[in-house]
Amino acid sequence: MYRPTDIETALLHLVGWQQHYDTTEFEIDTELTQSDSGLYFQQVHPLLTLPNLRSIAPQFNDDDKFSAWLEKKTIAGVQKAVNRFISDKMIEADAKSLLESRMLFDGAGRLSDVITRTSSIVGMEIVPVRSRGVTTKINKIGLQFKQTGPINLYLMHSSSMSIVKKITLNKVKKWDMEWFVPTEPIYLPYYSSANDAGGSWYLVYIENELPEGQQAINKDRDWSQSPCGSCNSSDYNAWAQWSKYIEIHPLKNVVEGYEYSVDFNNDFSDDFANIFRFWDVQQNVYTYDKNYGINLEISVSCDITDFIVEQKRVFADVIARQVAVDLLRELAYNPAQRINRAAAVVSRNDILYELDGDSSSLKKSGLSYQLDRAYQAISLNLGGIDRVCIPCKTGGIKYKTV
C-alpha cells in the first residue's frame, strides 16, 4: 500500500526546471525551478528546452497557464515513475494487508435510540497502532440519522487540530444506516508529512450545523470494552480484528467561547469551521455509550509511503528521465501541429532515434533504454521497515550506477 498524493507532493520538486534564459519573453513559476536534488530536466537532453515545450503546449495567453501545463506534465511523469517502480519492485508478500475491509459493527441502532443534541462537536477519536509503516484507510462511512439532508464531517489530527479534510455526505434515506464511499481516499497514517508521529485522528461533526430537527441514531454498545462474544458473535469477531490496529473513543466537546449563529438557509457555510479554533481537546468528554450515528468500514495495510519519501533522492534520476522521455515523445509527434524551433533543425525521426535508438541494431540505445536501466538500478527491500509488517530483516533501498 502507498499513498499516491503524499508521494507526489514529496517528489514533485525533487527535479526542477531551469528558468527560461530570457524572462522578458516568458517566465515559468519559480516553484517549478525548485530542485531538491540539484538536477534539472533540461540536463537530460538538449532538445528539452522551455521554448520547445511552449511550442507544443496549447496557445496560452499568459505564463501562468503555461506553468500550470508544465506542472501537470511533470506530475504525470512523477506518477508514472512511482507507479512503475512500485509495480516492478514491490513483492506481494511485503505489501501485505493486515486487515481486510471490516465494519466497526454490524447492523444499525434502534430507531427509538435518538441522540439528544447538546450543541457540541461530536464524533470519534481514532487512535492508530503505534507502528510506523502501518496505515488505516477508511473505505466507507456509514451514517444513521433521523432525516435526510447534507451532513458535514471533519477529519482532524491532534498534532495540528486544523481541518485535514471536509467530507460532505448527503443522506437520502430517513432512519436507515446509509453507506457512502468517499470521493477521495481517507488515510489515517501513524506518521506522515501532514501529521506528527502518534496522536489521534478525529472524525467529527458539529451538532449545530445539522439541519433543524436532524438527530443521530445511536448504536447500543459499550465502546470502552469488547462486545459480548456470546451475545453478538459478529460484533465480537469484527472488534477482535480491528482492535489490534485502532482504538475508537466516541467523544463530545461543548466548545466554550464560540457564539453559535445558525442560518439553516445558508447552505452550510464554511464559517462553521471557525468553531475548531476554540476546540480544546483537553475538554473532550468520552461518551462510550454513543457512536453519534457513525459507523466505518476500514482496512489496515503495510504502507511504504514514508519509506519512499525518506529515500526520495534515489528516485531523482528515474524521474528526470521519465519526464524527459514523455515530453520528448510529445515533442516528436507535436500534437498541436505547430512548427517549433526544433522542427527547423531536427525531424520527428531524429527525435525518435534519440528516444528509441537504432531499431536495426542489436545493441540497445536511446533515452528509453537509459530510463529502463535507471529503473533497474534501484532495488527496494522492505525488510525491517516496520515491526508489524516485516520485522527482523536487513532492508533499505539499494542502488547502483546506470
- Give the DSSP letter of residue 16: B
Task: Tell whether the model's pLDDT for residue 391 goes beyond 70.
Answer: no
The overall pTM is greater than 0.95 = no
pLDDT surpasses 90 at 352: no
Q: Are 136 and 298 in contact (CB under 8 A)?
A: yes
Higher pLDDT, 147 or 351: 147
- Is the CB of residue 138 less than 8 Å from the CB of residue 102? no
**Residue 339 and residue 63 in contact, taking contact as beta carbons nearer than 8 Å:** no
> In the structure grid, which three cell numbers stand for residue 360, read together?
536495426
Residue where the block lists cell 515513475: 81
Distance CA 370, CA 45 (A): 12
The answer to whether the Cα torsion of 105, 108, 110, 116 is positive or negative is positive
Q: What is the pLDDT of residue 109?
A: 86
Burial class (CB in 10 A: 0-12, 13-18, 19+), 93: exposed
The predicted structure's pLDDT at residue 193:
64
Distance, CA of 317 to chain centre: 24
Please name the residue that has the C-alpha cell 534519440. 354
Statement: residue 393 has pLDDT above 50: no
Q: What is the dihedral of CA 77, 81, 83, 89, to 10 degrees?
A: 180
Beta strand extents in 291-365 (DSSP E only):
294-302
Q: Which residue in this structure is represented by grid cell 464531517?
A: 153
The full length of the chain comes to: 402
Choose between 339 and 218: higher pLDDT: 218
Q: pLDDT, tens digit, for every residue of 19-64?
A: 998 888 999 999 999 999 999 999 999 989 999 898 888 888 889 9
Boundaries of every domain in the chain: 4-93+307-399, 97-303
Higher pLDDT, 182 or 254: 182
Sign of the alpha-carbon torsion through 126, 238, 169, 258: negative
Stretch 390-395: mean pLDDT:
48
CA distance 4 to 30: 24
Give the three cell numbers for residue 200.
Answer: 489521534
Give percent above pLDDT 90 in the chain. 34
Q: What is the mean pLDDT of residues 306-310?
A: 79
Residue 132 is placed in which grid cell? 510506523
Amino acid identity for residue 281 in this structure: V
What is the predicted pLDDT for the residue at 379? 61
Q: Which region, left, alpha or beta, applies to residue 348 given φ > 0 means left and ψ of -120 to 50 means alpha?
A: alpha
From the CB of residue 311, how many other CB atoms can be counted at a distance below 10 Å?
15
**Cα–Cα distance for residue pair 157/380, rounded to 1 Å:** 31
**pLDDT digits over 103-138, tens only?**
888 888 898 899 998 888 999 999 988 877 788 999
Residue 178 dihedral angles phi and psi, to the nearest 5°: -125, 135
Lowest-pLDDT range, 147-156, 239-248, 285-294, 380-389? 380-389
The string of pLDDT tens digits covering residues 171-189 is: 999 999 999 999 988 999 8
Interval 58-109: pLDDT, tens: 888 889 999 999 999 999 999 898 888 877 665 443 455 677 788 888 888 8
Element (H, E) at 152: strand 149-157
Which pLDDT score, from 0 to 100, does residue 385 have? 52
Q: What are 192-237's pLDDT values in tens digits?
A: 666 676 789 999 999 888 888 899 999 988 898 888 766 667 778 8
Q: What local confidence, expressed as pLDDT, does residue 94 receive?
A: 47
Confidence of residue 331 (pLDDT cuts 50, 70, 90): confident
